[in-house]
Structure 1
Amino acid sequence: METIQYEVRAGVGTLTLNRPHRKNAIDAVMREELKEVVASMPRQRDLRALIITGAGATFCAGGDISVMGAGTLSPEDGRHRMRHDYLSWIETLLRLEIPVISAVEGAAYGAGFSLALTADIILAAPSSRFCLSFMKLGLIPDCAAFYTLPRVVGLQRAKELAFSARELSAQEARDLGIVLEVLPEGRVLERAQQMADCFAQAAPAALAMTKRAFNASLNSSLEVMMDIEADGQAVARTSQWHTDAVQRFLNKKPSAFKWPSALD
C-alpha cells in the first residue's frame, strides 16, 4: 500500500492514513486502497476491534484539493464514482459488527471529519480540530456525514455546522457529544489501543448485536426494537463466552471483561 497502513494484532486492527506530507488528504490512490482494505474487513474472523488514525500531525485534511479540478466528469459519472468508489467502503465501515475507534490528533476536515464520524467512539487531543469545510468549496458534506452527524448532535446543530463550515475545538466537539474523551497530546492512540484491547476480550456476539441494535434504534419502532432485543439476547445466552462468564461469577472470579480506567 502506498497511502495507508493496515495491521491486525491480537484481534485489533489499526488503519493508518499515511500521506503525512499531504496532511493525509484522500486522493485517488488512497481511495482505492481504502476501498480494497475495508472491503476485506467483514471477512476477517479474527478482527475484534478497529482503530482509525492518521500518520504525523494530522488525522485527515479531507479530499486532496490539488486534484479536485482535474478531469471533467459528467454529473452521472461523478455520482457513480462517489457512490461506488467512496460510499461503498464508507458504508462497509458503518456496518462493521465490531467497535470502531477514531483516534484524532490535529485536523479532521471535510471528508476527514466524516471519516472520523464512522466510528463508534472518537478520541481527540487538545490540538484536534473538526470542520465540515465543504461549503467553502461549494460542495455538500459527503462520506455519510448526512447520516452520522445528525444522530450525534441533532438536526439543527448538524445543519449549523454544515452551513457555517466553522471549526470546532476538541473541547467543543466533546461538549457536543462528537468526541468521547480529550486526551493529552501524544496519548490518543494509546487510549484507543487500550479500549480496543478491552473490546478484543469481550463477547463478540454480544458486542456485534449491541452495536447493530443501537444503530437501528433511531429508525425503528418500539416493537421492532423489542424483537431485535429478544432475538439478540436469545443468541447471546447460548454463547460460550456467556457460559464461561456465569461460571466465573459463581466461582467468585473476576469478569474477563473490564473497561479500562482513564489514563493517568
Structure 2
Amino acid sequence: MSEKTLLVEQEAGVATLTFNRPEARNALNGEMRVELLEAVQRIRADRSVRAVILRGAGNDFCSGGDVRGMNVTSAEAGRDRIDDLHGWVSTLIDLDRPVIAAVDGVCYGAGFSFALAADFVIASTRARFCMPFMKVGLVPDCGAFYTLPRVVGLARAKDLVFTAREIRAAEAKEMGAVLEVTEPEKLHARAAQVAASLAVASPIAFGLAKRALNQSLGSDLRAMLEIESAAQGIAFTTEFHREAVKRFREKADPLFKWPAAEA
C-alpha cells in the first residue's frame, strides 16, 4: 500500500494537513486531490476542530500541479479537472474556523492558491511564491482569481499572474500575502502557536466575522450593515460573550489573547 499523499493529524482542536510528496516538492496529483477533498469535508463536519494548519512535508510547501499528469486533451476534460478541485477549495475558503498556512520553500501555482485560501500565512525566510501558469500557457486556478486580487490588490495580482515572476517571503509580506516571516527552524512551531491562540477564540464570533469579511468586497454598505446587525445579534447571545464580559469586569484573565507568543 502506497503512503498517503496527505497526512492528517489532530491535536488539541487543531487539525494539521501535510502535503506529503516531498520527493516531488509536494506537487498536487490525482491521489492528493481526492484526499484533500475527503479531509476538508471531514473537518467541516467535525466541530471539535477549532483551527487548521496547512503545511508541506520536507522543505517545500507545494510546487503546484504535477506537470507529468497534465495530459488533458479537450476543453471539457480540462474544465472537469479544475471543477473537481473547486469543492474542497471553496469549502476551505469559506470554512468558519481559522486556517493557517505554514509556507516553507517552494509555494508555486496551485500551492500559492492553497496558501491564499488560508486566513493567515506564516512564511519562512526561504519561502518562494510564484504564479507560473503563463509559462505553460495556463491560467491561475484553485480559486486564485478570487483570492489573489483580494489579498494583494488588482495591480499586484496582474503583475504576479502576467509576468509569472517569483517573489520571496519579504516581498510577499510587503504585498500583504504573508502575515509573518520567520526562520525555517521556527516556522512550524510558530504556525502551531498562532493556530492554538485562534482556536480558543469564540467559534461563533469567528465564523460570523469570517463569513462577513469574505462577502464584504462584493456587497454594498446597506448589505454589510444588515449582515453586521444580524451577526452581532447572534454573538451577543453566546456563552463565550457572557463569560468574556464577566472576566473583564472581574479583571480576570481573558478567554482570548493576542498576539500569540513568539516561538
- What TM bracket, shorter-length normalisation? over 0.9
- C-alpha contact (below 8 Å) 2:194/2:260 kept by paired residues: no
**In 1, Cα distance between equivalents of 2:129 and 2:228:** 35
Match of 2:81 in 1: 81
Residue type at the aligned position of 1:120: D
Residue type at the aligned position of 2:51: A
**In 2, Cα distance between equivalents of 1:260 and 1:19:** 33
- C-alpha contact (below 8 Å) 1:102/1:119 kept by paired residues: yes
Match of 1:104 in 2: 103
**In 2, Cα distance between equivalents of 1:187 and 1:120:** 20
| Superposed counterparts of 1:210-221, under 5 Å | 210-221=209-220
Matched, 1:185 2:184: yes
Higher alpha-carbon deviation: 74-83 or 120-129: 74-83
Identity of aligned residues (%): 50
Matched, 1:14 2:13: no
Secondary structure at 2:224 match in 1: helix
- C-alpha contact (below 8 Å) 1:101/1:122 kept by paired residues: yes
Secondary structure at 1:62 match in 2: coil
1:31 to 30, 33, 56: 33
Residue type at the aligned position of 1:253: A
Residue type at the aligned position of 1:78: G
| Superposed counterparts of 1:1-264, under 5 Å | 2-69=4-71, 72-83=72-83, 85-261=84-260, 263=262
The Cα shift of 1:251 comes to 1.5
Secondary structure at 1:187 match in 2: helix
Cα distance per residue 1:161-194 (max 9 Å; x no partner): 1010000010000111111110112211111111
**In 2, Cα distance between equivalents of 1:218 and 1:260:** 26
The Cα shift of 1:65 comes to 1.1
**In 1, Cα distance between equivalents of 2:45 and 2:260:** 31
**In 1, Cα distance between equivalents of 2:234 and 2:53:** 27
Q: For structure 1, which runs of at least 5 residues remain unmatched after alignment?
A: none
The Cα shift of 1:250 comes to 1.6
**In 1, Cα distance between equivalents of 2:153 and 2:201:** 31
Secondary structure at 2:171 match in 1: helix
Secondary structure at 1:152 match in 2: helix
Cα distance per residue 1:28-75 (max 9 Å; x no partner): 111111111112221111111110000001100101112213xx5421
The Cα shift of 1:78 comes to 2.0
Secondary structure at 2:184 match in 1: coil
**In 2, Cα distance between equivalents of 1:261 and 1:110:** 30
**In 2, Cα distance between equivalents of 1:147 and 1:188:** 27
- C-alpha contact (below 8 Å) 2:97/2:206 kept by paired residues: yes
- Tell me the matched-pair count: 261
The Cα shift of 1:261 comes to 4.3
Residue type at the aligned position of 2:70: M
Secondary structure at 2:226 match in 1: helix
**In 2, Cα distance between equivalents of 1:203 and 1:131:** 35
**In 2, Cα distance between equivalents of 1:125 and 1:139:** 28
- C-alpha contact (below 8 Å) 1:26/1:63 kept by paired residues: yes
Q: For structure 2, which runs of at least 5 residues remain unmatched after alignment?
A: none
**In 1, Cα distance between equivalents of 2:155 and 2:247:** 47
**In 1, Cα distance between equivalents of 2:244 and 2:169:** 38
Secondary structure at 2:27 match in 1: coil
**In 1, Cα distance between equivalents of 2:260 and 2:252:** 20
Question: What TM-score do the two structures reach when normalised by structure 1?
Answer: 0.96
Secondary structure at 1:168 match in 2: strand
**In 1, Cα distance between equivalents of 2:77 and 2:168:** 36
Question: What TM-score do the two structures reach when normalised by structure 2?
Answer: 0.96
